[in-house]
Structure 1
């Protein structure tokens, strides 16, 4: 089977967030899809079972999904895609709004917000598929959504827990020797700082030489 066939597909990046037990949870997903045109419309997405957001959403039953704008800052994906909500408050450095269901969401760098109610879940291996009804929707900005392929063009890598993560070849890009972050690029500037752990350029090695 030629896996390159389905890698031709592209996906929009979204911040999926919820609140549970007095704490906010959120992660980057690339699996949000509208699956019916009924009223209310239904959407699906999947989350890795190991994520704190997945566990919180199974309890709260409601979520906000905000679609990232094409010009969204890399730090949105770096903060919500690579770090664990069990260890830090991912929302601490952002201006946070709250929808009518009590779910946190961001407006900067976003094009739209969907407020969703979980109606059904399906276990799929190491992921859970959430089937949701749309409760509310809001346009937050102009322009197109940021997609996986557009994000990768920046020299960035989609978080490994993402449902459509494309595994890198063993020698692709540069790796931070402190936290393991991978930068997809032929070279990185001398003043480059790891977006995850803030390590300097000197802590990066070519994966082909690691």
Structure 2
């Protein structure tokens, strides 16, 4: 089956946050949609391996920060490519508690606070259906998944429902690559850079140094 048609489905990017026994934890998701209009219900898809998945099941409430094109790009690195089991992703970030959920401050397209209603099992992922109990508007331009891939040049983490493994093309003596088309991937966040890297180069997404880049 050719799954390329699935890549035309539109998505956004969101930081979902919840309480882990009083400690804030969260992750990046790309699947959220509104189910009902009156007394609104939304649904989000989460990989069962995500630490935030289990924290939401325990706490039953979560917040959604709708990422904007103007949002701090390091949010994607911290919440999308690091694990809440190992670290507090909110450490050093400005946030407040709203309805017993962590709400990030900064430039976003808005915030939604939800209470879990029920869960639908979908093999590797669960779909959480939740009642919207509050919203916090903002005026950022919503970041689409297409913008993330095409402008920021980021990749989907393995736990994302849209993840597709992309084989690397080896740079062998038999298939030399012209200097002008060298490509490097950031091993921290997955950003792909085309062209040479200067000694003082930093990843535009996560600010990782040149040493964190590998030629592909």
Equivalent residues of 1:16, 1:66 under 8 A apart: yes
Question: Does the CA contact (< 8 Å) of 1:148 and 1:158 recur in 2?
Answer: no
Report the CA distance between 1:98 and its aligned residue: 1.1
Length-normalised TM-score, structure 2: 0.85
Indicate the residue corresponding to 2:57 in structure 1: 58
**1:147 aligns to what?**
144
Distance 1:119 1:78, change over 3 A: same
Aligned pair count reads 201
- In 1, Cα distance between the equivalents of 2:35 and 2:153? 31
Output the aligned Cα RMSD: 2.1
Structure 2 CA distance, aligned partners of 1:35 and 1:129?
A: 12
Residues 71 and 171 of structure 1, relative CA distance in 2, 3 Å threshold: farther
> Aligned ranges for residues 140-179 of structure 1 at < 5 Å?
141-152=138-149, 153-171=151-169, 173-176=183-186, 179=187
Q: Residue 201 of structure 1 corresponds to which residue in structure 2?
A: 210
Whether the 8 Å contact between 1:174 and 1:205 is mirrored in structure 2 is yes
Q: Larger Rg: 1 or 2?
A: 2
Once residues 70 and 184 of structure 1 are traced to their aligned partners in structure 2, the CA distance between those partners, rounded to angstroms, is 18
Contact 1:17 1:27 in 2 (8 A): yes
Name the SS for the 1:57 alignment partner: helix
Within 2, Cα distance between the matches of 1:16 and 1:84?
Answer: 13
TM-score, normalised to structure 1, is: 0.87
Superposed displacement of residue 175, structure 1:
3.5
Structure 2 segments unaligned to the other structure (5+ residues): 171-182
